[in-house]
Amino acid sequence: MIKKKFLSIIFILSVLLNTGLFIILFTPVTELLYKPLIVDEEPQKSEVIVILSSIDAFDTVNGFPDFSTLARLQKGLQLYHDGYADKIICAGGSKLRSTQKSYAQIMKDTLLLYGIPEHDIQIQDDIEGDWNYYKNLLEMVDKFRNRYDFDNSIIVTSSQNTYRIKKLFLKQNINATVVSAEKYALQPSNWHDRFGLFRDVANEYWAVSLFYALGRI
């Protein structure tokens, strides 16, 4: 009797798990959950473009940005070349293990390869660590507040992070323009991509909840 009850529980859990996986991998429910997280404001002439790094980079000799950061850099480059601002801040305090080069420095090096003059790029990497990026952004505002009016700035980040970043700056009484990088994630081409999208969306909902609980947004 106990064995049958145990097997019934296992069967029910298996059905629920497989149903959940089917919904995640083969239906657009993840894309629907993604959309409320997106803030994509119309860019306007600004004093500075702030490009936020993602949480990863390839630990090569010189360092190489991950795909998400490259998408953000591409959007920042587009805004720069379109004349929305003539200064860029690369923000990312995490560092490569081998060379201790910061993600912000890797981003700057990448922009230099694209021909952006060095005097047009500043970096913000004062506080290291993926989980300390909130403090790193506050430090950036303090560091550059006499140089730039962040109410007149453009913040570039990945689509799923834009809602939280917008709220974060508003909490500091800064009404920056938040622009979404290319929404490539909203068009998953296979179930692997859709599963990655679900993971990112789930992580972001958790992060938003945490930020609300901590009073950061």
For 12-71, the pLDDT digits (tens) are 766 666 566 666 566 677 788 888 899 999 999 999 999 999 877 676 667 778 888 999
- Does residue 88 sit in helix, strand or coil? strand
Contact 91, 106 (CB under 8 A): no
Could you read off the pLDDT of 133-146 as tens digits, one per residue? 888 889 999 999 99
For 197, the token pair is: 């999208």
Asked whether residue 4 carries a pLDDT value surpassing 70, the answer given is no
pLDDT mean over 150-175: 94
Residues 6+ apart with CB under 8 A from 140: 50, 89, 91, 124, 126
- The pLDDT tens digits of the residues spanning 93-129 come to 888 877 888 889 999 999 999 999 999 999 998 877 6
CATH 3.40.50.620 fits 39-213, yes or no: yes
The helix/strand/coil state of 6 is helix
44: nearest Cα among 200, 164, 149? 149
Instruction: Please write the tens of the pLDDT for every residue from 174-213.
Output: 999 999 997 766 677 777 777 788 888 888 999 999 999 9
Q: How far apart are CA 41 and CA 154, in angstroms?
A: 9
CA distance 129 to 94: 5
Q: What pLDDT is stored for residue 141 in this prediction?
A: 93
How far from each other are the two terminal CA atoms of the chain, in whole angstroms?
52
Gap between the Cα atoms of 28 and 115, Å rounded: 40
The domain spans of the chain are 39-213
Q: Is 136 helix (H, G, I), strand (E, B) or coil?
A: helix
pTM above 0.75, yes or no: yes
In sequence order, the β-bridge partners of residue 122 are 89
Q: What is the pLDDT of residue 30?
A: 79
Say what the pLDDT of residue 134 is.
87
